[in-house]
């Protein structure tokens, strides 16, 4: 993938920030960790940029560590890349914990997030094991994960989870769906092109709104 020099400017000083945040916040200092971090940062940054450059301009920070929503996504990519390249849980765990401390978001380092996603004010979000399609959007307080029988959700492309919504267990969410604020789906399916609204009983309506273009640059 070809990326402009201007895009790489968002990472200026990020190595220094990461090493010193781990040292000062987690009280962890290890030269081997620092070396491993330096080694994987180019790959993690490329993965983040693949996601980042597909978002609308309003979501693009000048420096990654000054935009908490985008820094949350970036820290996931760094933690996951540490795990993929080193298989060293101690190193990946430090970036996972840093993300929890700084941004109050729980995305474990071995979770498989889609290549393109957006976290919108994601404080309190927990994204566990699931199969998630591209153009996924999660707002604050969202929960995604398995049930007591370890059955996992399958979430299609272009799905938005609004504040406090939960998708738990054996759920299949079709493409182009919106799950409204406060909706709890447990072992339930949602047909493609649906909007689910929280009420005394969940109401599912067909939506024709192109909400993907609200968050992402769909021309790429």
pLDDT digits (tens, 9 = 90+) for 63-92: 888 889 999 999 999 999 999 999 889 999
Neighbours of 181 (CB within 10 A): 15
Query: Which has the higher per-residue pLDDT, 124 or 66?
Result: 124
pLDDT (0 to 100) of residue 88: 84
Tens digits of per-residue pLDDT, 136-152?
Answer: 999 999 999 999 999 99
Homologous superfamily in CATH for domain 117-208: Hexapeptide repeat proteins (2.160.10.10)
Tell me how far apart the alpha carbons of residues 102 and 112 are, in angstroms, rounded to a whole number: 21
92-96, 136-140, 208-212: the lowest-pLDDT one = 208-212
Q: Which of 79, 65, 72, 89 is nearest to 16 (CA)?
A: 65
Burial 72-90 (b: 16+ CB within 10 A, else e): bbbbbbbbbbbbeebeeee
Spell out where the chain has E strands. Answer: 117-119, 126-127, 131-132, 136-138, 143-145, 154-155, 159-161, 166-168, 172-173, 177-179, 184-186, 189-190, 194-197, 203-206
In eight-state DSSP terms, residue 193 is: T
Three-class secondary structure of residue 161 per DSSP: strand
Query: Which has the higher per-residue pLDDT, 215 or 136?
Result: 136
The model's confidence at residue 41, banded by pLDDT at 50, 70 and 90, is very high
Q: What is the pTM of this model?
A: 0.88
Residue extents of the structural domains in the chain? 8-103, 117-208
């Amino acid at each position: 993938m070809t990326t402009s020099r201007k895009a790489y400017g968002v990472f200026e000083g990020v190595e220094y920030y990461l090493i010193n945040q781990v040292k000062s916040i987690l009280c962890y200092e290890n030269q081997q960790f620092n070396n491993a971090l330096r080694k994987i940062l180019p790959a993690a940054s490329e993965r983040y940029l693949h996601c980042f450059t597909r978002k609308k301009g309003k979501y693009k920070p000048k420096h990654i560590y000054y935009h908490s929503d985008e820094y949350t996504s970036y820290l996931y990519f760094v933690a996951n890349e540490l795990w993929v390249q080193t298989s060293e849980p101690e190193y990946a765990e430090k970036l996972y914990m840093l993300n929890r401390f700084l941004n109050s978001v729980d995305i474990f380092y071995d979770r498989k997030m889609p290549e393109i996603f957006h976290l919108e004010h994601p404080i309190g979000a927990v994204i566990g094991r699931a199969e998630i399609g591209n153009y996924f959007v999660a707002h604050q307080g969202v929960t995604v994960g398995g049930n007591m029988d370890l059955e996992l959700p399958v979430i299609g492309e272009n799905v938005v989870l609004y504040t406090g919504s939960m998708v738990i267990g054996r759920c299949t969410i079709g493409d182009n769906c919106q799950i409204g604020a406060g909706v709890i789906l447990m072992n339930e399916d949602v047909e493609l092109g649906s909007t689910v609204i929280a009420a005394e009983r969940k109401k599912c309506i067909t939506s024709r709104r192109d909400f993907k273009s609200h968050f992402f640059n769909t021309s790429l």
